[in-house]
Structure 1
């Protein structure tokens, strides 16, 4: 049975959208849901279409901002993300906070990494030919402009809370098709 289901990423947002009557809040929720779905589909053009003309990402690690800035920087970031084959993920949300200009999400980000890429990033893996589920606790701020476009992401994470070597049976089909097409 697969260890993650990418569709869970936007479940809490869709539940909130179903009961939200404030039109501006609906705009913010819809923008982030579309962004999440485009990311899951690895559709770069669709993903970039959710962003404002000058997006700025802030990924805070060890007190430093390492996020991409500007359209070209963000496009390169997402192109590299898809090329890494670590884009099969589930962001299981515990909480969301919403206002007219920002959505805040908090939960566990679960991603499957090819062992070689996990090792390249410095994660302690013992078999670079294996696949790993790496879980992080993450808080994301999603600022949304007056036109309903996402202005970037401000990400605060804990670092890995767990790293688990996966069996082939635990891999979702989307990941198998991406990383192990000759086996699937």
Structure 2
């Protein structure tokens, strides 16, 4: 959806924001850490409002570029980077952008076990589904300043052990070396 918006957007600031969002999303999906971090502001501050569990929200709310880097590194290291966000609504402003749609994520069974969720096979991925809204903020150089996330609806963790999934069932982006630079 962001590429469609970019194709028709004339405002230079909004174009820069859309270009950053596209580069950020592709780098995150490809687990291209250097390209991903090139899109993040030094003053980054993420905030999760995704659950009623304050400790989990805080764990998903990194502060500063180093905190964001550690957050993304932990996602990749844990195998929780098989993510698809099928955006069906988007709004672009001068400093913010919102994305809303269905989130699908392949959660490793080992991670679910560590969270106290019984799964038949810890080596298998399990499908997490949730409606997700992200309010993105951008700094003066159009780098990601914040990702404030809100979720609701969808199965979430309820019954997740009954939803095994293969990696090819989650949308994946691959990048060539020439695509690895971010705006």
With the shorter chain as reference, the TM-score category is 0.7 to 0.9
2:29 paired residue number:
40
Match of 2:52 among 28, 39, 62: 62
Cα distance per residue 1:111-165 (max 9 Å; x no partner) = 1122111232345634323321111111001101111111021011127525322
Other-structure match for 1:137? 131
Task: State the match for 2:7 in structure 1.
Answer: 18
Structure 2 alignment gaps of length 5 or more: 173-183
Shifted more, 59-68 versus 91-100: the winner is 59-68
Given that 1:137 and 1:161 are in contact with CA atoms closer than 8 Å, whether structure 2 keeps it comes out as no
8 A contact 1:106–1:139 mirrored in 2 = yes
For the aligned residues, what is the CA RMSD? 2.2
The 1:122–1:95 alpha-carbon spacing in structure 2 relative to 1, beyond 3 Å, is: farther
Query: Deviation at 1:97?
Result: 0.9
Gaps of 5+ in 1: 1-11, 175-184
CA separation of 1:28 and 1:120: change in aligned 2, threshold 3 A: same
Q: TM-score, normalised by structure 1?
A: 0.79
Distance 1:80 1:54, change over 3 A: same
Aligned length: 162
